[in-house]
Structure 1
């Protein structure tokens, strides 16, 4: 009979290792394009497409966003196509809501999308000055003078 206790656990081996090597691309930041002017056919005539004001605000929000500094040319082109979906949505085509939601999630438009993409804001990392504290009193400062009662008594008349 061998030693006491359970047998040591076997070393876990990662079974989902990548089978295909990663492709490393050269990064090139791209400047955001302006919303283009173009014509659409309406009632048999070509008319200039007018971007809704809400879409112009939305486009500027993306240009000013922290994510924008990480966008390449293909990202801006994809977002430009998404702007057209946004414009159609704000012009009353509500059937595009799902596609719009999926597309903006790819860019980290919501807190949950940023969490999924592992995006964090730099100010949040340094907000506590590296102390790891929120600025309020610590638990030791709040409860440092508390002591337990002997015998496990709670002080409630027992």
Structure 2
């Protein structure tokens, strides 16, 4: 027996033709360890001098290494973040024009709550943290009222029925 209602229109007669979704490219998983901030030299006044990472950039780098997102970073992600560390270092040395580019780059990795929401990232809660209690952290209804305090209302059905 056919379904209720009129038959669906033929695809060439429909007002809206939703295109097929673009197929995804599935890549093999590659976990990559975070590299250290590199030592290198830069040219300053015609001389090569050792580049010194600002302490704040070293702390920022460690924050990314320790972040939950880092579990999902591959080699290219860490390379991009390494270039981003140079921008971070520029900003902390007083070049505030680098702030916009830094914001755009870290947004791609879910730096803020809004970025994570846009990227559909959520933090998982560990099982058992609440000690077996409900999500409120307070006592359960059974603990609060116990079997002796529960009674049925008139006109209700009992569990035996």
TM-score relative to the length of structure 1: 0.71
Q: CA RMSD in A?
A: 3.0
Q: Distance in 1 between matches of 2:35 and 2:103?
A: 22
Q: Distance in 2 between matches of 1:21 and 1:126?
A: 39
Q: Distance in 1 between matches of 2:72 and 2:135?
A: 30
Q: 2:110 touches 2:119 (CA, 8 Å); kept in 1?
A: yes
1:105 paired to 2:110: no
Structure 1, 66-75 or 121-130: larger mean CA deviation:
121-130
Indicate how the Cα distance of structure 1 residues 129 and 70 shifts in structure 2: closer, same or farther if over 3 A, else same: farther
* Structure 1: gaps of 5 or more residues: 1-6, 142-158
Q: Distance in 1 between matches of 2:20 and 2:115?
A: 25
Partner SS state of residue 122, structure 1 = coil
Deviations 1:112-147 (A, max 9, x none): 001111111111787668987433699xx9xxxxxx
Indicate how the Cα distance of structure 1 residues 60 and 27 shifts in structure 2: closer, same or farther if over 3 A, else same: same
TM-score relative to the length of structure 2: 0.70
1:15 paired to 2:18: yes
Indicate how the Cα distance of structure 1 residues 27 and 14 shifts in structure 2: closer, same or farther if over 3 A, else same: farther
Deviations 1:68-100 (A, max 9, x none): 010000000000000000000100000011100
Q: Distance in 2 between matches of 1:129 and 1:22?
A: 41
Q: What residue number does 2:157 align with?
A: none
Indicate how the Cα distance of structure 1 residues 33 and 130 shifts in structure 2: closer, same or farther if over 3 A, else same: same
Deviations 1:14-57 (A, max 9, x none): 72532x32111001100000000010000110001000000000
Q: What residue number does 1:63 align with?
A: 65
Q: Distance in 1 between matches of 2:54 and 2:17?
A: 51
Partner SS state of residue 40, structure 1 = strand
Aligned residues: 131
Where in structure 2 are the equivalents of 1:79-94 lying within 5 Å?
A: 79-94=81-96
Q: Distance in 1 between matches of 2:30 and 2:60?
A: 24
